[in-house]
């Protein structure tokens, strides 16, 4: 397992997106904040870095609303409470969601030096993260907040062992509990996110925001070829329940986002989260636990009288 | 009376055991009815008052027991409803559909006279109908005695409900009780006809029963070899008369009274009544064998045809996937559920590929598995298990080369009656029913090894002739289409689906003969643009598929009409018909409906008119609709019609006025693009746009998809 660009290659998501807090939610960001967690194996001893690609909000990639006027703050947290604080793993930036020890922070505006370039947080000693047995290693948290303006900041992360290069951290992974991301313009591209379903999950409820009725969102797995879910329109939420099959437990689901090829929406951003039957959020790992789920048919051959 | 003429196989023997459901009181008579057995029993005491005397008396009621899946008879219970009374009820029989019962009971007019307890009350035949699992009294047999001067009883219905046999001591017989029969003609039973002196004697004849081959079984106490009541059988001759009755051998008959022979249809099992084990009558179940072939092997022909399916793939709620099954004999078949027949014995492999037409990617490939078709080691019969009365039943016995069979011994039997010899068998059934077909043979003997008897058995079912043969069954095709449908404003709408006999821009006549022959009540509905004639409606697409398939299987060339948006709602105008059709009507009715489908361009095109009969090259037409959401409709139509990549098809785009021509052509091109996305080859798609005054003004443009399409008709 090698982490990790975020979004990862298999997710086929072009960018994460966070809008300035003055933007309307109809742009596709419900809360102007996005939290990601990085997991480092407990026996990994090298310093690690968290790099942010295109952290500014101007120039290439970003979504302009009139003139660029947005400020985006990236903050890295570790230490006690980084993930164990219950507010850290919610969908909304409320309460003590900035829990843990602040290890680094930087606010970006429209400076061209970071446009289409990288900014590096670190080095961090892996033990600066919060040791979590639940998530299997040291956990770092990075929060991206749109603190000013109304533009969309499109960015990526990379967990690396080098301050200037993207060298994956062996055994590392990244995950979030609510994904806010940009879809491809090309309607023939399909994006994926991979919620992990543990043994106690019986059913899940998916929620999506501002899909703009732009095609299909479907759940695929080892046991489901594809089941479409309720989809949202402009600036609203939609949800539906999916019953978990026995063969899907202990594996990841593949949530696929396929745009409508005839009425595709440009610059579509979407928010997505999944809860289990107890209302607990399921983590989306950028490198799916158990690998990408591949549908396994149950072929049945029934003899017929001629 | 017309019956199959057959010979009773030689060397028949019977095994007899007391019925496990006998009570300490009298139990007798009875008839098999599905997995049930209905018989008379005096197990329940009845309190009855004669003038000032109150006594307890054993009258008989009808009881029912059921053979469960473990092969055990369940505890008998009195049949439910109005049939059982404080007086006697006995010996019953059922119509073919099991909905009407004729039974024996004390005549009401006799009871009303309230004579005294020593009086014998005359018997009559009554009928009851089944409603909600209860038997409700219907009427008395019209030839019952009107003044209780004689009895009628022991009814038995045969020959597809066209024949009623019974016993009666009515005047004009040969003495005592005789056997009579009536024919069902013009919705009534004909005047009773006496079976004549070959069957009837100066004594008593009771309990008539006729098997599938026309052999008459009955009970008599006055034939020359009778010992009390005995059971006799009489073979029917080709001219419809009977051979001299023969007393059935032991253990069916005994030195005591033996009576009321009945068989379970399509089997070699039955029941008689006898008082051989005491004063009371008891029931005895029997199995009939041919001595040489008591133990048959179940027919186990090799299977060359298989249904391939993916159990993980439900029909409901899925997206457009294309399943492709690839076989190592070179065949590739498309569909989530496909039928594949192999040509010979051997080892085969297959693999499933699934293509997601949304992403244009293979979801899953190369799940290879194996099938082994082995040569059987025992003889087997090649014969379909179901036939209709209009068909000649054909069968062939296949004998493995390792077995040395004396082919001169090959003998075909139906329910133990020899009906043919040799390797092949042909039989024209007259009546529906269940039969046990056996092929019996002996191996060639040698000086050291004596010939061995081999018997193969195969149950076959003969069904009444129907429209099934005319219209091949349709396997439901899963619709790859999302359940959630939204209108242009993004609001979720609930499509309504109708199964319609036909549709028209004009309201059709209420006295149109086709409504009277419709499968059920027909509703005329309209959306102010057209009229549809609906026999089913549903909100659930999966229901729709099943209903559509059911009606197509019954022979109705029904259409699917879909109301996709809230502003396109069909309202009921009136009901065209409310009576059910009969089986006889069905054949002609389906033809009427077939022509009733509107293919006239002056009216709306049909929504789905998929003529799947194999005899003629069908032209399938799909009305695509004009709403902006035609994308969904094209996908829907492609899924339902199973459009193949190599299939030539034509998009016809008609417009109401010339100024719509360009828009019409643009739409046709968009549909072409959609079809290409669905893997139809671009060169296989033809486009025709034309001005048609008949296109409704509010409709402006009408899009039609047709296939297969040949270049000769290309405009």
Average pLDDT over residues B214-232: 92
The per-residue pLDDT for range B398-453, each reduced to its tens digit, is 998 888 888 888 989 888 778 888 899 888 887 778 888 999 988 887 666 667 88
DSSP state of A282: P
Most confident range, picked from B39-53, B480-494, B699-713:
B39-53
Closest CA to A128 of A73, A53, A46, A34: A46
Q: What is the pLDDT of residue B471?
A: 35
Residue of A nearest to B386 (CA): A305
**Mean pLDDT on B341-353:** 90
User: Looking at residues B201-225, what average pLDDT do you find?
Assistant: 91
Residue B2 has pLDDT above 60, yes or no: no
- ipTM value greater than 0.90: no
Contact between A26 and A180 under an 8 Å Cβ cutoff? The reply is no
d(CA B256, CA B279): 10
Predicted confidence (pLDDT) at residue B295 exceeds the cutoff of 50: yes
Q: What are phi and psi of A128, to 5 degrees?
A: -70, -20
pLDDT (mean) for B539-566: 64
- Stronger pLDDT, B551 or B325, i.e. the higher one: B325
Whether the per-residue pLDDT at B102 is higher than 90: the answer is yes
- Residue A166 has a CB neighbour count (10 Å cut-off) of 16
Question: Cα(B714)–Cα(B287) distance, rounded to whole angstroms?
Answer: 69
pLDDT class of B616 with cuts at 50, 70, 90? very low
Instruction: Determine the distance from the C-alpha atom of residue B656 to the mean position of all C-alpha atoms in its chain, rounded to a whole number.
Output: 49
Token reading at B460: 């076959």
CA–CA distances in Å: residue B9 to residues B329, B412, B435, B640 = 46, 10, 15, 53
A-side interface with B, Cβ within 8 Å?
188, 190, 213, 215-216, 218, 220, 223-228, 230-231, 233-234, 256, 258, 261-263, 294-306
For A33-69, the pLDDT digits (tens) are 999 999 999 999 999 999 999 999 999 999 998 899 9
Q: Which of A226, A297, A304 lies at the smallest CB-CB distance from B367?
A: A297
Say which residue, A11 or B317, is predicted with more confidence: A11
Query: Alpha carbon of B373 to those of B346, B352, B378: distances in Å?
Result: 5, 20, 15
- Residue A93: its pLDDT value, please? 94
Comparison of pLDDT for B50 and B518, the residue scoring more = B518
As a whole number, the mean pLDDT across chain A is 92
Q: What is the dihedral of CA B173, B178, B183, B186, to 10 degrees?
A: 50
The secondary structure element, H or E, covering residue B557 is: none
Distances B428 to A13, B388, B393, B432 between C-alpha atoms, Å: 69, 10, 6, 11
Residues of B with CB below 8 A from A228's CB?
317-319, 482-484
Residue B658 has pLDDT above 80, yes or no: no
User: Least CB-CB distance to A301: which of B341, B371, B674?
Assistant: B371
CA–CA min distance B482, chain A (Å):
7
Strands annotated E in A7-132: 15-19, 33-40, 48-53, 71-78, 101-108, 118-124, 130-132
Quick check: B456 and B378 in contact, CB under 8 A? yes
The yes-or-no verdict on residue A124 having pLDDT over 90 is yes
Q: Where are the alpha helices (DSSP H) in B93-143?
A: 108-112
Nearest to B111 by CA among B29, B38, B48: B48
Q: Which of A188, A297, A302 sits opposite B312 (nearest CB)?
A: A297
Long-range contact set of residues B620-625: C-beta below 8 Å, sequence gap at least 24: B620/B706, B620/B707, B620/B708, B621/B704, B621/B705, B621/B706, B622/B704, B622/B705, B622/B706, B623/B702, B623/B703, B623/B704, B624/B671, B624/B703, B624/B704, B624/B705, B625/B564, B625/B703
Q: Which among A207, A156, A225 has a CA at the least distance from the CA of A9? A: A156
What pLDDT score was predicted for residue B618?
36
Residues 6+ away with beta carbon under 8 Å from B88: B40, B59, B60, B104, B105, B106, B121, B123
* pLDDT value at residue B713: 29
CB contact under 8 A, A298 and B631: no
Q: Residue A294: list chain B partners with CB under 8 A.
A: 364
Q: Judge whether B337 is closer than 8 Å to chain A, CB to CB.
A: no
Percentage of chain A modeled with pLDDT above 70: 97
Confidence band, pLDDT 50/70/90 cuts, at residue B588: very low
Nearest CA in chain B to A231: B484
Q: How far is B313 from chain A (nearest CA, A)?
A: 7
B303 to A296: CB separation less than 8 angstroms, yes or no: no
Give how far A109 is from chain B: nearest CA, Å: 36
* B585 and A CB contact within 8 Å: no
A200 pLDDT higher than 70 = yes
What is the distance in angstroms between the Cα of A24 and the nearest Cα belonging to chain B?
A: 20
Distance in Å, alpha carbon of A14 to nearest chain B alpha carbon: 17
Higher pLDDT, A224 or B641: A224
Highest mean pLDDT among A142-146, B34-38, B109-113, B234-238: A142-146
Could A190 and B361 be called an inter-chain contact, meaning their C-beta atoms sit closer than 8 Å? yes
From chain A, pick out residues whose CB is under 8 angstroms from the CB of B309: 299-300, 302
H/E element, B304: none
Instruction: Give exposure, B667-693, as e/b (b: 16+ Cβ within 10 Å).
Output: bbebbbbbbebbebeeebbbbbbeeee
3-state secondary structure of B45: strand
Predicted model pTM: 0.51
| Nearest by CB: A188 against B312, B317, B360 | B360
Which is more confidently placed, B219 or B279?
A: B219
Query: Is the CB of A301 less than 8 angstroms away from the CB of B319?
Result: no
């Amino acid at each position: 397992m090698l982490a990790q660009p975020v979004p990862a290659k298999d997710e086929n998501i072009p960018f994460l997106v966070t809008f300035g807090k003055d933007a309307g939610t109809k742009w596709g960001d419900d809360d102007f904040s996005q939290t990601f967690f990085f997991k480092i194996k407990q026996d990994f001893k090298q310093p690690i870095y968290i790099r942010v690609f295109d952290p500014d909000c101007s120039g290439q990639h970003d979504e302009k609303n009139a003139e660029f006027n947005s400020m985006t703050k990236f903050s890295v947290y570790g230490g006690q409470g980084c993930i164990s604080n219950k507010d850290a793993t919610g969908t909304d930036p409320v309460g003590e969601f900035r829990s843990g020890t602040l290890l680094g922070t930087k606010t970006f505006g429209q400076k061209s030096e970071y446009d289409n370039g990288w900014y590096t947080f670190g080095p961090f000693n892996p033990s600066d993260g919060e040791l979590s047995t639940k998530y299997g290693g040291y956990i770092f948290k990075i929060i991206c907040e749109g603190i000013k303006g109304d533009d969309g900041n499109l960015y990526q992360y990379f967990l690396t062992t080098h301050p200037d290069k993207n060298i994956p951290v062996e055994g590392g992974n990244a995950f979030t509990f609510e994904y806010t991301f940009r879809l491809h313009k090309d309607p023939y591209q399909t994006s994926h996110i991979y919620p992990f379903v543990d043994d106690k999950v019986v059913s899940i409820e998916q929620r999506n925001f501002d899909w703009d009725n732009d095609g299909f969102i479907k759940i695929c797995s080892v046991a489901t070829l594809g089941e479409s879910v309720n989809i949202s329109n402009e600036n609203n939420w939609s949800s539906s329940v999916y019953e978990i099959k026995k063969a899907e437990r202990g594996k990841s689901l593949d949530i696929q986002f396929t745009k409508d090829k005839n009425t595709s929406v440009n610059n579509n951003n979407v928010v997505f989260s999944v809860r289990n039957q107890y209302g607990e959020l399921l983590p989306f790992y950028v490198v799916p636990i158990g690998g990408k789920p591949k549908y396994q048919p149950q072929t049945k051959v029934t003899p017929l009288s001629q | 009376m017309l019956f199959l003429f057959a010979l009773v196989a030689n060397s028949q023997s019977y095994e007899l055991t007391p019925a496990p459901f006998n009570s300490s009181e009298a139990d007798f008579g009875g008839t098999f009815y599905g997995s049930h057995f209905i018989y008379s029993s005096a197990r329940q005491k009845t309190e009855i008052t004669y003038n000032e005397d109150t006594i307890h008396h054993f009258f008989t009621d009808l009881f029912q027991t059921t053979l469960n899946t473990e092969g055990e008879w369940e505890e008998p219970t009195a049949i439910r409803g109005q049939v059982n009374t404080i007086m006697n009820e006995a010996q019953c029989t059922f119509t073919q559909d099991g909905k009407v019962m004729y039974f024996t009971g004390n005549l009401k007019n006799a009871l009303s006279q309230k004579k005294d307890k020593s009086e014998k009350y005359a018997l009559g035949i009554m009928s009851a109908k089944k409603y909600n699992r209860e038997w409700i009294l219907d009427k008395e047999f019209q030839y019952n005695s009107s003044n209780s001067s004689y009895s009628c009883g022991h009814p038995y219905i045969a020959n597809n409900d066209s024949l009623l046999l019974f016993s009666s001591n009515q005047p004009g017989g040969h003495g005592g009780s005789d056997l009579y029969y009536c024919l069902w003609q013009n919705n009534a039973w004909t005047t009773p006809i006496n079976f004549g002196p070959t069957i009837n004697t100066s004594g008593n004849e009771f309990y008539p029963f006729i098997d599938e081959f026309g052999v008459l079984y009955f009970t008599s106490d006055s034939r020359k070899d009778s010992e009390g009541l005995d059971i006799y059988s009489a073979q029917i001759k080709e001219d419809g008369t009977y051979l001299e009755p023969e007393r059935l051998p032991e253990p069916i008959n005994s030195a005591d009274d033996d009576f009321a022979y009945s068989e379970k249809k399509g089997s070699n099992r039955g029941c008689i009544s006898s008082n051989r084990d005491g004063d009371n009558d008891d029931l005895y179940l029997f199995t009939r064998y041919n001595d040489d072939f008591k133990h048959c092997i179940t027919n186990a022909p090799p299977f060359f045809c298989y249904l391939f399916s993916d159990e993980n793939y439900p029909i409901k709620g899925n997206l457009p996937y294309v399943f492709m099954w690839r076989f190592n004999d070179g065949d590739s078949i498309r569909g989530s559920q496909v039928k594949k027949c192999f040509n010979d014995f051997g080892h085969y492999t297959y693999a499933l590929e699934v293509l997601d037409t949304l992403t244009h990617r293979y979801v899953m490939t190369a799940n290879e598995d194996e099938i082994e078709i082995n040569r059987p080691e025992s003889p087997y019969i090649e014969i379909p298990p179901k036939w209709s009365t209009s068909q000649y039943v054909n069968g062939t016995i296949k004998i493995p080369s390792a077995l040395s069979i004396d082919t001169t011994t090959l003998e075909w039997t139906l329910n133990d009656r020899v009906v043919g010899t040799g390797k092949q068998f042909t039989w024209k059934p007259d009546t529906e029913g269940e039969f046990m077909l056996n092929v019996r043979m002996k191996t060639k003997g040698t000086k050291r090894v004596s010939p061995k008897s081999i018997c193969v058995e195969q149950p076959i079912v003969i069904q009444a002739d129907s429209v099934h043969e005319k219209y091949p069954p349709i396997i439901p095709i899963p619709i790859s289409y999302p359940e959630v449908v939204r209108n242009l404003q993004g609001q979720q709408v609930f499509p309504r689906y109708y199964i319609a006999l036909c549709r028209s821009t004009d309201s059709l006549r209420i006295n149109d003969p086709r409504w009277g022959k419709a499968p059920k009540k027909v509703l005329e509905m309209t959306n102010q643009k057209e009229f549809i004639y609906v026999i089913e409606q549903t909100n659930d697409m999966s229901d729709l598929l099943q209903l559509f398939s059911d009606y197509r299987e019954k022979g109705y060339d029904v259409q699917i009409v879909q109301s996709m948006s809230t502003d396109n709602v069909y309202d009921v105008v009136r009901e065209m018909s409310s009576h059910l059709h009969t089986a006889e009507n069905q054949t002609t009715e389906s033809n009427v409906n077939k022509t009733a489908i509107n293919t006239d361009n002056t009216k709306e095109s049909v929504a789905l008119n998929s003529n799947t009969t194999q005899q003629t090259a069908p032209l399938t037409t799909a009305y695509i609709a004009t709403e902006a959401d035609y994308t969904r409709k094209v996908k829907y139509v492609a899924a339902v019609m199973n459009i193949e990549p190599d299939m030539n098809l034509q998009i016809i785009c008609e417009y109401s006025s010339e100024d719509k021509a360009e828009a019409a052509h643009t739409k046709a091109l968009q549909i072409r693009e959609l079809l290409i996305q669905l893997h139809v080859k671009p060169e296989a798609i033809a486009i025709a746009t034309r001005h048609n005054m008949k296109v409704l003004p509010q409709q402006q443009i009408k899009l039609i998809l047709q296939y297969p399409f040949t270049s000769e008709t290309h405009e």
